[in-house]
Amino acid sequence: MDIHEHQAKDILKGFGVPVPKGFVAYSPEQAAYCARALGGAGPWVVKAQVHSGGRGEAGGVKLCKTDAEVMDYAASLLGTRLVTKQTDAQGKGVYRLYVEEASDIAQELYLGFVLDRKSERIMIVASGHGGMEIEDLAHEDPDSLVRSVIDPAVGLREYQARDLGFRLGLTGPQVTQFVTFLQACYRAYRDLDAMMVEINPLVITGKGDLVALDAKMSFDTNALYRRPQVAALRDPGQEDPREAMAADNGLAYVGLDGDIGCIINGAGLAMASMDMIQLAGGQPANFLDIGGGASPERVCQAFRTVLSDRNVSVILVNIFAGINRCDWIAKGVIRAYTDVGIEIPVVVRLSGTNVEEGRKIIRESGLPIISADTLAEAADRAVAAASQKIAAE
């Protein structure tokens, strides 16, 4: 789960990370008031709060010298959709802004904490060139990246932080600040089950102080049940509506660009099914793992979620029942025809526990359900049904 910049800064500030003073605004008038509340005569930085990087290049960040300029810029940005190089063509809706005091920047650094699955450790990635996306840094100046792996048994040690500071070219009091800065970020990462903490840029001010000028955090969705203070920061308005709907109903869903909707149990089987659809010449519209022990009610909700995508022309149900039962799935499919109102072809492939009973329920339902015995057969029939529907239209 991603959160907004201002939320990440609030969290990091609570752990001792220095951040510029700022306020959130939801209207042009409030943005101007926030600028005045920060004191002084400006300038101020106004930032669109969207779950995406590259906001500056897309026009989502501006340095404003007067509160009138803050209001005008806020009015031009709020309610629009910001398209960056990290979003699709639809962009992200801008419904809140962050107004903060401008900083005196002498140098920009990059700092990130990420989970390295290969080493099963938290890895710190840093660079003496901040303000750039990490992908661009890795491509344009890979030698500038320095890394340090944290052993979870002992945590981040001071000598590691000092070594990293020296490798970035810091000296004297800056190294001491850097050690404190890194340890605060690490505590936030560890204590809140984060998946990423990124400070970009981490700036050195004209006075030599280290400040987190921008911050990004993402969290392990599977751990949100024990982090209610983090779960409360979720902004469904920044999510794919289909994925938000699925999350609200406990379904693992990722929206894609195809037209064959998938309802499958098990992440591995879902991936294999998507590959088979593409091998048959089609394009999957989504990844959906219905999970184990799926009741007929849960199957109905899965159908509602898949059908919320208007591009879906065929639904493929592929179940290998272990914890699940094929008869439950079959009853769910039939119930979906009544409760959801399915008007597109549905291909069902069942295997595993109570498979014969499940197939019998499908067969005797009298509904136009297309049955298949194997995954390859199911994929071929789904692609054929999609092609026929397109031809008919």
34 & 47 share domain = yes
94 & 216 share domain = no
Q: Is residue 265 part of an annotated ligand binding site?
A: yes
Q: Is residue 39 part of an annotated ligand binding site?
A: no
Q: Is residue 187 part of an annotated ligand binding site?
A: no
Q: Is residue 248 part of an annotated ligand binding site?
A: no
Q: Are 319 and 264 contacting, i.e. CB atoms less than 8 angstroms apart?
A: yes
133 & 173 share domain = yes
Q: Is residue 227 part of an annotated ligand binding site?
A: no
> By CB neighbour count within 10 A (0-12 exposed, 13-18 middle, 19+ buried), where does 17 fall?
buried
pLDDT digits (tens, 9 = 90+) for 150-164: 998 899 999 999 999
Residue 101 has pLDDT above 80, yes or no: yes
Q: Give the active site residue among 98, 110, 186, 253.
A: 110
Q: Is residue 54 part of an annotated ligand binding site?
A: yes
Structure tokens at 86: 């990290």
pLDDT digits (tens, 9 = 90+) for 212-233: 999 999 999 889 999 999 999 9
257 & 387 share domain = yes
69 & 207 share domain = no
| CATH number of the domain encompassing residue 197 | 3.30.470.20
47 & 67 share domain = yes
- How far is C-alpha 206 from the chain's CA centre? 35
Residue 393 has pLDDT above 70, yes or no: no
Q: Give the active site residue among 5, 69, 198, 239.
A: 198
Q: Which residue has the higher pLDDT, 69 or 339?
A: 69
* pLDDT of res. 294: 67
Chosen domain end from 102, 131, 150: 102
94 & 234 share domain = no
| CATH number of the domain encompassing residue 275 | 3.40.50.261
8 & 153 share domain = yes
173 & 126 share domain = yes
| CATH number of the domain encompassing residue 62 | 3.30.1490.20
- Total of domains in the chain: 3
Chosen domain end from 102, 128, 159: 102
**How many other β-carbons are positioned within 10 Å of the β-carbon of residue 391?**
7
Q: Is 337 a catalytic residue?
A: no
Average pLDDT, the chain: 91
363 & 292 share domain = yes
157 & 216 share domain = yes
178 & 288 share domain = no
Q: Is 198 a catalytic residue?
A: yes
Which pTM value belongs to this model?
Answer: 0.79
Q: Between β-strands 215-219 and 260-264, what pairing exists: parallel, antiparallel or unpaired?
A: unpaired
Residue 136 has pLDDT above 80, yes or no: no
Question: How many Å apart are CA 112 and CA 134, to the nearest integer?
Answer: 9
Q: Which domain holds residue 67?
A: 21-102
Place of tokens 């509340």: 37
* pLDDT of res. 228: 95
